[in-house]
Amino acid sequence: MLERDYQAHLIKVLRLRFPGCLILKNDSSYLQGILDLTILYKDRWAMLEVKVSEKARRQPNQEYYVRMLNEMSYASFVYPENEEEVLDGLQRTFEPRGLTRLSERQ
């Protein structure tokens, strides 16, 4: 699978899981290493760097931006092997503050 194909799949999944979200594709030629996608959902945001696999090559500065942006809101590398984990992290980030999921209360 090519990265662009996985990214297209992921965007469809994000739109289904977070109805009404706005997904922006970022331009790494403008800011080298900036993550691929910005997701705006209600009053929250997150950024994702899409990789075709866990072992795919990372570009300079991508790890830096993932760490920095994750401290601000939520940012992560995402690839098929960790997709569900990342989607769960997005869900927690996008939930209204003060609410916990039923599964976390049990």
Q: What tens digit of pLDDT does each residue of 59-99 get?
A: 989 999 999 999 999 999 999 999 999 999 999 999 987 65
CB atoms near residue 61 (< 10 Å): 15
- Does the model's pTM come out above 0.85? yes
Domain ranges of the chain: 3-105
- Is residue 87 within 8 Å of 13, Cβ to Cβ? yes
Q: What integer best gives the mean pLDDT of the chain?
A: 92
- What CATH number labels 3-105? 3.40.1350.10
- CA 96 and chain centroid, separation: 18
Angle at 59 between CA 94 and CA 93, to 5 degrees: 5
Q: Residue 104: pLDDT above 70?
A: no
